[in-house]
Structure 1
Amino acid sequence: MSDMLTAEALDIIFREARSYNGWLDKDVSEDQIHAIYELLKMAPTSANMQPARIVWAKSSDAKEKLAALAMDGNKDKITSAPVVAIIGYDIDFHEELPWLFPHTDAKSWFEGDEEGRKEGAFRNSSLQGAYLMIAARALGLDCGPMSGFDNDKVDAEFFGDNPRHRSNFICAIGYGDRTSIFERSPRPEFDKFNRIA
């Protein structure tokens, strides 16, 4: 890697990007969903574990079911979005490591350590959820990440056929309505929360 992104690209991904609460009536296609995934999967996870398991709630029925399991303040954000990604994780991600990380017997690192797998899967699926947002923004879409839902009920409704999968957070994706965002909240200067040792 040698070339830095342009200032415009950095604005799109970071400086001017916002978390949206409302959406324009404009579809996000299945091709766009696939394009987001094709980018996010390339970003690093520990031992390439790729623990994220994502359900893309695109149909009205799926979004209504998800909204029914969310806090009141999130219901409209979910139902009005073109698509909402439910970012989950697989506790048994290690079963896929023989082909995802073929350089060594990485599966053995995690066998017999379910708590360690849960920790690793949660951390790395959180990373993948962040990569998802970066990918969506890079492709010209806006995001509205959320918690504020009943994880156990979402797991039963959307991951019920995979009982070793758990929900982490959700992210609405579409074309944001700028009237739905608040003023930018403060961002700390480097010295506030950082030090170079």
Structure 2
Amino acid sequence: MSLALDEAAQDLLFREARTAHTFTDEPVTDEQVRTVYDLVKYAPTAFNQCPLRITLVRSAQARARLVRHMAPGNRAKTAAAPLVAVLSADNEFHEELPRLLPHFPQAKDLIYAERPVREASALLNTALQVAYFIIGVRAAGLAAGPMSGFDAAAVRKEFLDDDHTPLVVLALGRPGPDAFRARGPRLDADEVITTV
């Protein structure tokens, strides 16, 4: 079966894409980040919620503070990437729902009135948005180095507030020397698809 995307786009976004471990020093601009976000902001989410928040860590002082909270294996990449972002879930995303969901403005109070429900929903839907954001970074010709190895409580305290949950620290830029490791194995379709 053929796909709507041509082979080159399939390779760029999926087959040849890898997590980057080194980057060149070419800067990543705010305009590039906005362009990526504008491309992927229509990712599917429940009730059109948009809980993803992106905190760009640009200054040397902020970068040093972030590096302290990264797992040892992620510190060098975090320190050296031209741009690092903390991708977090806004647990108060429901405040935007009346504007984002005009045909069902009561969703804010009927579905998401309770904090535990919001947090669970924010976590799932932010994860969807993060995945799309990474694909958007690739579509922009940049490389992404997503990391979950960090002290989430410390990163929250350092850069966010109690209404935000950090999910991923993302290094991004142009791939550097030996940026990519060999592709790891994945499960085949017949191992994951069941028909009932």
TM bin (shorter chain): over 0.9
TM-superposed CA distance for 1:110, in Å, is: 3.0
Number of residues paired by the alignment? 193
Question: What is the letter of the counterpart of residue 48 of structure 1?
Answer: N
Task: Give the structure 2 partner of residue 129 of structure 1.
Answer: 130
Q: Following superposition, which runs of at least 4 residues in structure 1 exceed 6 angstroms of deviation?
A: none
Task: Give the structure 1 partner of residue 111 of structure 2.
Answer: 110
SS in 1 for 2:178: helix
Residue deviations 1:150-175, cap 9 Å, x none?
11110111113xx3111111111111
Mark the runs of 5 or more structure 1 residues left unpaired by the alignment: none
TM-superposed CA distance for 1:178, in Å, is: 4.7
TM-superposed CA distance for 1:82, in Å, is: 1.1
Contact 1:20 1:178 in 2 (8 A): no
TM-superposed CA distance for 1:124, in Å, is: 0.4
TM-superposed CA distance for 1:196, in Å, is: 2.7
Task: Give the structure 1 partner of residue 61 of structure 2.
Answer: 61
Identical pairs, percent: 37
Question: What is the letter of the counterpart of residue 170 of structure 2?
Answer: C
Question: What is the letter of the counterpart of residue 94 of structure 1?
Answer: H
Alpha-carbon distance in structure 2 between the residues aligned to 1:155 and 1:130: 21
Mark the runs of 5 or more structure 2 residues left unpaired by the alignment: none
1:25 pairs with 2:15: no
Task: Give the structure 2 partner of residue 164 of structure 1.
Answer: 163
Residue deviations 1:124-166, cap 9 Å, x none?
0011110110111011111011111111110111113xx3111
Contact 1:94 1:110 in 2 (8 A): no
The TM-score, its normalising length taken from structure 1, stands at: 0.93
Question: What is the letter of the counterpart of residue 154 of structure 1?
Answer: V
TM-superposed CA distance for 1:109, in Å, is: 2.8
Alpha-carbon distance in structure 2 between the residues aligned to 1:84 and 1:115: 29
